[in-house]
Structure 1
Amino acid sequence: MRQRHFLNLLLAGALALPVLSGAARANPVVLFDLKSGMVLEHQDAFKRWYPASLSKLMTAYVTFRAIAAGEVALDSPIKVTKHSAGEPPSKMGFKPGSVMRLDNALKMMLVKSANDIAMAVGENIGGSQAAFADRMNAEAARLGMVGTHFVNPNGLYSPDQYTTARDLAVLVTALRNDFPQYAPWFSIEGLAVGKKAIPNYNLLIGRYAGADGMKTGFVCSSGFNMIGSA
């Protein structure tokens, strides 16, 4: 069986190769093998960091758990609220009252990194942003993500939304092991929504042989963030 390595980079994507080659490094990084759990490379793995849109991986995990528990289904309706529609870019820009299937909402969240859709998913499943954040934190605690705290489902900056490279490694391990049926969603090259073609923000997908995930993100407080897998 082909081994899958997860490269968790909380830095500009252009620095990925220097990190692997042992050149000058900056910002937290963890490289590990999913099958064995062996850490192959790390730096500042326990340093507190703002996760930006990598937070959407926990939004996906909480949602997958809700589906498994029978709370919602892939075809459950997700309604865009006034609050979610007002979230800043990256976003789909749907008007309040717009409705879509949950599976389509999750794909837009993962491919486009749509902040409005992530918020809509959280509000529809949790009942409110705060209630969904409570569920995110409960899952983080259950998984042993001891250096992580969430206040929103999309990763927009808050001083109270933080994580570590080590904790994100725990999360992606849980995503892959607990819900392997959704693995293809993290390697979608793009979506067609109406007449719009939406490419994946993860530029490794479709360009780097073997790349199959997982998420990128950016906020000014931490710069470019990436979790890549191959």
Structure 2
Amino acid sequence: MSHRFSRFLALAAACLMLAAAPLAAARAEALETPAREAILIDLSTHTVLFEKNADESMVPSSMTKLMTIYILFEKLAKGGIKMEDMLPVSEKAWRMGGSKMFVKVGERVAVSDLLRGIIVQSGNDACVVVAEGLASTEEAFAAQMTAKGKELGLKGSTFRNASGWPDPDHRMTARDLMVLAEHLIEDFPQYYPLFAETSFKYNNIDQANRDPLLGVVPGADGLKTGHTDEGGYGLVGSAQRDGRRLLLVINGLNSMKERAQESARIMEWGFREFQTYTMAKKGDGLAEAKVWQGEEETVPLTVAADALVTLRRVDRASMVVKVVYDGPVPAPIAAGQQIAALEISAPNMPVISLPLVAARDVERQGVFGRMFGSLRYLLTGEAG
């Protein structure tokens, strides 16, 4: 009784929405990068635009600090700590090498200053102050970081310290960094603007934000750089334009200059070559599905939320959109029940499947209606 049903959409509304973006004249160029690891995604649709060794275990260097920041943001959001709270500086924190906020042993530092010391100045000393303030020891805090990573879905991350200081067992993947950055942006919009601050002065020492995208790539507003001898030069960066937000993770580059050039180039490539299209808006009638033994012979299909898809601009003309479902669909059917899929395919991309739901209820027929429908199906093959 069930059969596979699909038909091409020829909706005027969809055509109008797709026609709003200009066609490119040629194929988008293939992207290559000297980075050892990289991943670029469009956060509006969670579409991966480019990746290279994104699941390989790597040294995250100071990009580690994003997890330290996440835990501190979470404490702030839940009221476990306040911006004005003061945390003590231990000798261990004061002695930390590498990039520093230049805290002084024995002093107490406001959480608001420590956040900027980590985000803007990449202070290893500030990370130790936070770790010891929240978990007594940095080792205990690192265990919390690893546990939080698992909770957030990081599959290849093990933390041994709060700053990214070299340790053979301190590892992440580019994809994990992307997931972590996504959580920072989406879970804590009230604190995220801190990443866009271009400088911070503490103890009369003014330091600039190391993020090479700020003020260079339009819409850039965070997140964090990193560098160690083993890891090379890396960056987790994000930029937002015209409602689209791209998120880039790149690592294993040879210099600050190469990091700045590659991160800007890849980010601009993502905005230039790809576009996010609205396929349908919530409530739009897209098609009808046949109903088995219902009070109505068909049920209208719609999307439960705006249906968005990100693809290369040059592939838009070759895009194929169709509605697919196993039907006829047996009644009763409830409004909002998922019964079909909107499948979108284009060259050089996997098929995207978006759920379609019933736009209204369809009650089941009475016993005589069902008997008549079954008889009609036996005689004609037509469901109803």
TM-score, normalised via structure 2 length: 0.53
Question: In 1, are the aligned partners of 2:154 and 2:179 still within 8 Å (CA)?
Answer: yes
Matched, 1:125 2:134: yes
Counterpart residue identity of residue 57, structure 2: R
Q: What secondary structure does 2:46 align onto?
A: coil
Counterpart residue identity of residue 174, structure 2: A
Cα–Cα, structure 1 residues 42 and 69, in superposed 2: closer, same or farther, change >3 Å? same
Q: Which runs of 5+ in 2 are unaligned?
A: 1-28, 240-384
Moved more, 189-198 or 211-220: 189-198
Counterpart residue identity of residue 116, structure 1: D
Q: Alignment partner for residue 135 of structure 1, among 111, 128, 144?
A: 144
Shift of 1:24: 4.4
How far, CA to CA, are the matches of 1:21 and 1:102 in structure 2?
A: 45
Q: What secondary structure does 2:179 align onto?
A: helix
Q: Deviations over 1:72-124 (max 9, x none)?
A: 11111121111111110211222211111101101111111000011111110
Shift of 1:218: 0.5
How far, CA to CA, are the matches of 1:80 and 1:198 in structure 2?
A: 20
Q: Alignment partner for residue 105 of structure 2, among 66, 76, 96?
A: 96
How far, CA to CA, are the matches of 2:45 and 2:208 in structure 1?
A: 32
% identical equivalent positions: 34
How far, CA to CA, are the matches of 1:48 and 1:137 in structure 2?
A: 15
Counterpart residue identity of residue 59, structure 1: T
Counterpart residue identity of residue 82, structure 1: E
Counterpart residue identity of residue 149, structure 1: T
Q: Which residue in the other structure is 2:77 paired with?
A: 68
How far, CA to CA, are the matches of 1:102 and 1:38 in structure 2?
A: 35
Shift of 1:205: 1.2
Which protein is bigger by CA-based radius of gyration?
A: 2
Task: Kindly report the root-mean-square deviation, in angstroms, between the aligned alpha carbons of the 2 structures.
Answer: 1.4
Q: How many aligned positions are there?
A: 211
Cα–Cα, structure 1 residues 21 and 120, in superposed 2: closer, same or farther, change >3 Å? farther
Question: In 1, are the aligned partners of 2:101 and 2:202 still within 8 Å (CA)?
Answer: no
Q: Which runs of 5+ in 1 are unaligned?
A: 1-19
Counterpart residue identity of residue 29, structure 1: A
Q: What secondary structure does 1:184 align onto?
A: helix
How far, CA to CA, are the matches of 1:83 and 1:209 in structure 2?
A: 40
Q: Which residue in the other structure is 2:155 paired with?
A: 146
Shift of 1:193: 2.5
TM-score, normalised via structure 1 length: 0.88
